[in-house]
Amino acid sequence: MSIKGIAPGRAYRAYRFPTRGGGRLSRRVALRPVGTFAGVLSAVLLAGVAFVGVAAAATFGYFASDLPSASDLATVPIPLTTHIYDRSGEHLLYTLSDERRDLISIDAVPKLMQDATIAIEDKTFWSNPGVDVGGIVRAIQVNSASGRITQGGSTITQQLIKTRLLGDDPTFTRKIKEAILAVEATRTFSKSQILEMYFNQIYYGNQAYGLKAAAATYFGVTDLTQLTLGQMALLAGLPQAPSDYDPIQNMEGAKARRALVLDAMVDNGYATAAEAEAAKSEAIVVKQATTSLYAPHFTFRVREQLVRVLGEKAAYRGGYNVYTSLDWNMQQLAEKEVRQHVDALKGSNVNNDVQAVYVPHRHAQSGHDRIDPALRHPVQHARRNRQELQPQRCDQRAARAAHDPAGAARVAEPPGVAGHTDRRGRRDHRHGSPAGHRPRLGP
């Protein structure tokens, strides 16, 4: 059906305007063809949108082709600390670690600690899809205004992706991959799961990886519910720049960062102004750095065995709990006895100078000859036979000495050692009487 004045294939726009006819106000409809320029502009815009969509899809496909899966966050092993204990499991002798870390459940992290971290690192964490474009824009504005980095543009999820899956390569390509995986991770895991992985992964400075290790390192706290609001705010501020805000090396920087975290908590409704001011006035008391190392000769022997059996990587990153044969109470008694005896000899000017050497007549060279094993002293062979003995034995001798002033007690030595019967039933008197356990450090 054709309409007079309208050409097929043309676009028209309708207009209504009043006219006066016959003394009454009436309306007339006019159809005007759309201008050629407007049609072309519309076509260009549609083409542009389509091009952007295709380009975005192509870009996603290009970068996603060699990406790991976001589900790897739950399966990729992270380095854990190996703990070496005494036989009771109550006394920690030593720790082995590339990264000092102890895992913790999100249920053990106080809500205020979670709030402090979210307020300063990713205030839209609970609602964003893994990335926060608005947060990136705000970070650029704030950092430009302050002249220094006070806010980061990466979400908590992006930080987790970077540290656990992609590494710290400072390239635009890595940032795109990080954003893609962050979105995928948000679809794969709950927000609580992501936050738990973050608290176990992130670096807090001074070789402390994860929140639990950080609380122990800086404040000597193992139960996070014992942390104060000020301590939580300080810890929450560390991940962005652990060295710059390190309370051990830069107390003023740590205080300023803590105040910034507390202000962010107030702005986001996680704390009141009064609570924040009270936390700002808290004195920052940092635990003195100490290294857990007890019974070092024994402990290092255990370390060597672990490396030999498990391999160095597994020993230092496997997170094992190793329970040894050492009796810590007996070890303390042995050390006390030795110290007292050495102290008693100080007045005699005792030192470690060698005053006499005995070389068996049947050997032409020293028993410590390292060139020909056949020429080594018999005692060296005895030592080789005893290498697999528990290092605890010497501690037993010293401990028994304290309860046996007459020195009558004896500890049986393996065959081949002075004064005992060898494997063929022959007595060996070449090196004196059966070995007693009383320490003889003086002349």
Q: How far, in Å, CA of 63 to CA of 179, rounded?
A: 11
Considering the domain architecture, whether residues 17 and 147 belong to the same structural domain is answered as no
Asked whether residue 44 falls in the same domain as residue 139, the answer is no
Are the CB atoms for 206 and 215 separated by under 8 Å?
no
Q: Is 102 helix (H, G, I), strand (E, B) or coil?
A: coil
Residue where a domain stops, chosen among 261, 280, 299: 280
Q: Give the model's pLDDT for residue 175.
A: 85
The answer to the question of residue 334 being in a domain is: no
User: Are residues 435 and 385 part of one domain?
Assistant: yes
The answer to whether residues 124 and 177 belong to one domain is yes
Number of domains in the chain: 3
Check which CATH number belongs to the domain holding 131 and give it: 1.10.3810.10
Q: How far apart are alpha carbons 109 and 121 in whole angstroms?
A: 16
Residues 125 and 255 in one domain: yes
Whether residues 254 and 374 share a domain: the answer is no
Q: State whether 28 and 147 are in the same domain.
A: no
Where is the domain boundary, 245, 280, 315?
Answer: 280
Residues 6+ apart with CB under 8 A from 408: none
Residue 151: which domain range?
Answer: 102-280
Residue pointed to by tokens 């809500």: 111
Tell me phi and psi for residue 152, to 5 degrees.
-105, 155
Q: What is the pLDDT along the chain (443 residues), one digit of tens a residue?
A: 555 555 565 555 555 555 555 545 455 555 555 556 556 666 667 766 555 555 555 555 555 567 888 888 998 888 889 999 999 999 999 999 888 899 999 999 999 999 999 999 999 999 999 998 877 777 667 666 766 655 557 899 999 999 998 887 777 888 888 999 999 999 999 999 999 999 999 999 998 999 999 999 999 999 999 999 999 999 999 999 999 999 999 999 999 999 999 999 999 999 999 999 999 999 999 987 677 789 998 999 999 999 999 999 899 989 899 999 999 999 999 988 888 887 777 777 766 666 666 666 554 444 444 444 444 444 333 333 434 334 444 444 444 444 444 443 333 333 443 444 444 454 444 444 444 433 333 43
Residue length of the chain: 443
| Strand duo 82-85 + 321-323: pairing | parallel
Q: Are residues 274 and 379 in the same domain?
A: no
Do 124 and 273 share a domain, yes or no?
yes
Among 280, 315, 334, residue at a domain's last position? 280
- Are 45 and 111 part of one and the same domain? no
Beta bridge partners of 321: 83
Q: Is residue 311 part of a domain?
A: no
Q: Are residues 57 and 137 in the same domain?
A: no
